[in-house]
C-alpha cells in the first residue's frame, strides 16, 4: 500500500502546504487572524482595543500602551482609526540593509497620502505609504532624492489588495496583487528601517510580512495566493 506521505512515483514525500511563515527568508509576520490580543491576552471581539499583535515568525510582538488600534471582526483586520494610533516594536528598528521583501494586505476605506503602512519614529523621512489611488512611495531620505515613487493600477475602496515592495542587488520594485508596477526598478541602496506598524490609518489592515531577501517569482505567487485565500 502506498503511504500517504509519498508520491505515486515512489519516491519523494509530498510538500507541505505553503505558508508565509515557512519561507526561509521570513523574519517577521503579523496576521490579523491569529496572535491579536486585548488587555487580558484574549482574542479581541469586534471594536475592542488591540494591545498586542504577536509576530508569528520572530519575537517582535508589537504593542500599544495608549492610542490603541481596534479589531474589526467582519474584516478580520486591525483598524488604526486615527493619526496617533500605532503599534510599537519592542526591540526598536527592523533594519533591512540589503535585499528584502515587505508585504501588506489591506482594504482601503479612505485613500490619502497619510496611509502609511510602517514608519520609523526617529526618522520622519523613512516610511512606506500609499500616496494616491495610482501611486505608492517608499521614502528613504529627506528631499526628493529619497522618494521612490511607483505607479500602480488604480486602487479603490472596499477591495482587498496585496502590496509588496522588494529589493534585489540595489534595484527596488513594487508589486500590486502579484503584478509589477509599470515604473519598473528604481535604484535604492539605503537601509530600510522601521519601528512602528502604522496600519494605513482608517483602513482595514490585515497582514505585514517581512523577509530578508527578495522573493522569487514562485514565492511571490505563493504569498499572493495565500493572502487571498486566508485573509
| Interval 104-155: pLDDT, tens | 999 999 999 999 999 999 999 999 999 999 999 999 999 999 999 999 999 9
The answer to whether 171 touches 186, Cβ cutoff 8 Å, is: yes
Largest CA distance in the chain: 67
Residue 16's pLDDT is 65
* Enclosing H/E stretch for 211: strand 204-211
Q: What letter would DSSP give residue 177?
A: T
The CA distance from 2 to 149, in Å, is 54
The CA distance from 152 to 137, in Å, is 11
Q: What letter would DSSP give residue 49?
A: B
The answer to whether 168 touches 175, Cβ cutoff 8 Å, is: no
142-198 pLDDT per residue, tens? 999 999 999 999 999 999 999 999 999 999 999 999 999 999 999 999 999 999 999
Q: Kindly report which listed range (1-10, 91-100, 118-127, 155-164) carries the lowest average pLDDT score.
A: 1-10
| Cβ contacts of 5 within 8 Å, gap of 6 or more | 13, 14
Its pTM stands at: 0.92
The CA distance from 160 to 163, in Å, is 10
Amino acid at each position: 500500500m502506498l503511504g500517504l506521505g509519498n508520491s505515486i512515483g515512489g519516491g519523494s514525500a509530498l510538500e507541505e502546504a505553503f505558508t508565509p511563515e515557512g519561507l526561509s527568508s521570513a523574519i517577521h509576520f503579523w496576521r490579523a487572524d491569529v496572535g491579536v490580543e486585548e488587555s487580558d491576552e484574549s482574542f479581541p471581539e469586534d471594536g475592542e482595543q488591540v494591545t498586542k499583535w504577536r509576530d508569528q515568525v520572530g519575537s517582535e510582538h508589537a504593542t500599544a500602551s495608549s492610542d490603541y488600534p481596534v479589531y474589526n471582526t467582519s474584516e478580520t483586520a486591525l483598524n488604526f482609526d486615527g493619526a496617533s494610533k500605532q503599534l510599537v516594536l519592542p526591540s526598536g528598528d527592523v533594519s533591512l540593509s540589503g535585499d528584502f521583501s515587505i508585504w501588506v494586505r489591506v482594504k482601503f476605506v479612505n485613500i490619502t497620502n497619510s496611509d502609511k503602512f510602517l514608519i520609523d519614529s526617529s526618522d520622519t523621512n523613512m516610511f512606506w505609504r500609499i500616496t494616491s489611488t495610482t501611486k505608492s512611495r517608499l521614502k528613504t531620505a529627506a528631499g526628493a532624492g529619497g522618494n521612490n515613487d511607483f505607479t500602480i493600477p488604480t486602487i479603490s475602496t472596499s477591495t482587498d489588495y496585496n502590496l509588496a515592495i522588494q529589493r534585489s542587488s540595489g534595484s527596488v520594485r513594487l508589486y500590486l496583487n502579484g503584478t509589477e508596477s509599470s515604473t519598473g526598478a528604481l535604484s535604492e541602496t539605503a537601509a530600510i528601517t522601521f519601528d512602528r506598524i502604522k496600519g494605513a490609518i482608517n483602513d482595514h489592515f490585515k497582514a505585514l510580512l517581512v523577509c530578508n531577501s527578495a522573493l522569487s517569482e514562485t514565492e511571490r505567487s505563493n504569498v499572493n495566493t495565500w493572502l487571498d485565500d486566508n485573509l
